[in-house]
Structure 1
């Protein structure tokens, strides 16, 4: 019955979108309120639409509240302000002009194809370590994907301390008895807005794909694991996801203090004696001060929004039963060298440290990451422990639920990136996925304007848009993408897409066993403390090391 209603409503939404067009742009009339967008070719962009009320004043660190429907016609011509984030100290590869920032930042943007009716919906969650970034970044422009019949939605969500701070006083005032995870709650609120309003833009609320890169992909995994997000999406794309350990709300675990205790430490560092004092602080000063005090935003295991560590949730099959497209980049750490373990003085010292830390797993670690090239091994070990292991973990977990999994390895280079030692660096696939190679940040290695690069981008646009539509990536310009189950097959994107089999033999099993042993110990995190930075791993464990161990 819902499908019938959605189809009829989508037709009505499409008519409203077309018939409402004026000299200034088309109009859509969702339940939230009428909005007027900007026509660009065969796509209409609606920008800066509020999906929740401003989380300011007394509503700072509260669950997002529904936005009141507005009367009249609201201009949706410009992006809303980015969420408050730490003041940049240095410019780097990913630096971009964010424009204005504000606590009043819970907005989303929509790119809708002309005449869309029950079109698939692709919801993009930006990256930035849960600390920075914005949906307004030019590289995330959704026009090219929308030209392939997909409605693209990009969202802002609270960041840093404003988005992820936990504190006993905040938990006490919450009707669910928890705190933290406000950025995750924002993402869930945005998905609810999409469910209730996207039909007026020609979208199908029963065909929603969540997608993100880096911290956006981490957010995708949080949403897959969160009971509150269940039913709000139907497929998932995770680009360079990292399934790291999370703090727990009220008890120290996995080498981390309780999230509430960490929040108390931040409040003390800011000189805030109570919750009222915290809420009275200037948002920018608070964010900068918390970052300076060492606060690192993260999802929190609170028993409500996130019920357990991600590997445990996915092992038990409690995550959303959704098809997944997941992958990582061969040069992830080339632009993130801060995540690489320190290099010892020589090969002998490297081997000594690995044998000391990896116990009986040391021989396999040294086989995969040999002492013969310390720089390459350092980069590869960090890449695999964070991004490679997570990619395969996601694929295996969804397959165990009977869902298809599609895996890729981005191994594409071009002259400006390769000359800078940044072959296939972290996030370098994004301008190809969005068709925006001319809209990268100022310090980004320039993508050449050649037929080959544009052709690769068009092929990736095909794959991503067909996955959003059907749950299976396909392109008339590229080879058939094999499902991961077929010999652990994947698509390697180098000069051109090429199907291959046997993704990095030995990589997953090594890191799965290492992570499992850390989890069992209960006092070790699993994140970027790998290789020479690893704690001493516990010895063999039957649960972790059996031949069929996941």
Structure 2
């Protein structure tokens, strides 16, 4: 079986090389003739647009999302189409709560008309691309919102540096992640949920079959994402279904939280199937057929109003174990990784914080009641004389800092290269709004889109300092996608994470620092270990003053 897969992949690689040469000829010829670029891929012929030496193809369908009476099924691979498909406009965003576009939301962006059949991707390729590295971007949005069409995800700046950039849509919220006993019964594998992750896997399969026609190398694919996109990358790293579909991984502000199991209550989560039954009751539906009879807009609105929580599902097939367990087992993809977090993550995510205690005495009392023998360590790191800053830092470190370093340590343990970063860059509009290095603020810098953000985004100054930092980050990310080693000419070398626990810090300029987290990593490793050992507590943003009483020290916990 393994030998057959290797032979098949080798054949694909040889075909890819031929197609890449054809693609480069087609794109270059189109550019010289001043005509829209045309690509003949396995999926069909597409015509895009050409802008400043970059061929852009938007809204290419990579699969069909079963809808209506067939809703909540794995994606169906898109059949070969006849004729020339117009690929000048982005595909419609997947259905999501419309309230997320509120004017006071810095992440808001106009979505336009949404669709349930939304599985499209976009490609940016240099006109002369041939066997170029491929960077696949998975957008964030808590698995309930977002779209590949957002302006700061524009891949043109990265493509100018010689990579082929792909971004994709995937099903979100209740439409992408509902598990239900009737759905499991319909499945040959007796599983349900995770449809959004299956969409991402199907997109990677499409890329493997078709990207050579756009000048990309199917044997040099880097998957990348931020927030829920980075969470998705972690799930793809642990899913047997995604193995061999990518070669490197980038995780920006990922979070290694617990998630429901399909059929059993575990780690403080009700089973995913029971959540489906709960939603059915909340929506006054008699069965799955009633849920499928609802229109997508109505279903999303009602599920959101009911408080339906969107999670991945540990089903033993798509997601075999909790992410933390898969990494402990060393079963994650043994690929080079680049991972990190931002110093001000929670400043724009204050909804993750509980109400602040009235005073230092109440703060300390709640921490001691929750952390017991670890309370002194916690209070030494997050003192009561700066309650707001302590709460912001504690939630940041528990979700994002611990995850980034855990990824680095676990990759190092299996002999895979890991490169970690801390984004600590501020600028006047963000700092004045109390948003220094806020969640996702690194994205326009690594995409090179610092002056193309939305009206709600804190405005990045049009200065040489900002562009210089962005150029450095673009260089590091591009070189990682190309070779698995981040490098920027004239910038500090980025050490591989190891015994010295080196991080690259991005502030006004990049520089290397060792041991960024200090005792904070060990504190959260201990708390998560105890919760996992007890088996009845979640680990996510239940940190500090809202932490449940921590279980007693377990033998397997240091």
- Establish whether residue 30 from structure 1 lines up as the match of residue 47 from structure 2: no
Indicate if the aligned counterparts of 2:45 and 2:84 stay in contact, CA closer than 8 A.
Answer: yes
Indicate if the aligned counterparts of 2:398 and 2:524 stay in contact, CA closer than 8 A.
Answer: yes
Aligned to 1:548: none
Aligned to 1:389: 402
- Establish whether residue 375 from structure 1 lines up as the match of residue 388 from structure 2: yes
TM-superposed deviation, 1:486: 4.8
1:71-220 superposed matches below 5 A: 71-88=82-99, 90-91=102-103, 92-220=105-233
User: Unmatched 5+ residue regions in structure 2?
Assistant: 1-9
For normalisation by structure 2, the TM-score amounts to 0.96
Separation (CA, whole Å) in 2 of partners of 1:477 and 1:252? 53
TM-superposed deviation, 1:513: 0.4
1:343-354 superposed matches below 5 A: 343-354=356-367
- Establish whether residue 358 from structure 1 lines up as the match of residue 368 from structure 2: no
Separation (CA, whole Å) in 2 of partners of 1:378 and 1:268? 36
User: Unmatched 5+ residue regions in structure 1?
Assistant: 546-550
Separation (CA, whole Å) in 2 of partners of 1:59 and 1:112? 35
Q: Using the TM superposition, name which of 89-98 and 526-535 deviates more.
A: 89-98
Indicate if the aligned counterparts of 1:342 and 1:533 stay in contact, CA closer than 8 A.
Answer: no
Aligned to 1:324: 337
Separation (CA, whole Å) in 1 of partners of 2:444 and 2:162? 19
2:257 to 244, 257, 264: 244
Indicate if the aligned counterparts of 1:514 and 1:537 stay in contact, CA closer than 8 A.
Answer: yes
1:273 to 280, 286, 296: 286
TM-superposed deviation, 1:515: 0.4
Q: Classify the secondary structure of the residue corresponding to 2:217.
A: strand
For normalisation by structure 1, the TM-score amounts to 0.97
TM-superposed deviation, 1:341: 3.7
Aligned residues: 545
Aligned to 2:501: 488
- Establish whether residue 436 from structure 1 lines up as the match of residue 449 from structure 2: yes
CA gap 1:54/1:354 in 2 versus in 1, 3 angstroms: closer
Q: Please, what is the CA RMSD of the aligned residues?
A: 1.2
Aligned to 1:287: 300
Q: Classify the secondary structure of the residue corresponding to 1:490.
A: strand
Aligned to 1:529: 542
Q: Classify the secondary structure of the residue corresponding to 2:133.
A: strand
1:16 to 12, 20, 26: 26
1:327-347 deviation digits (Å, cap 9, x = unpaired): 000000001111124321111
Indicate if the aligned counterparts of 2:480 and 2:487 stay in contact, CA closer than 8 A.
Answer: yes
Aligned to 2:61: 50
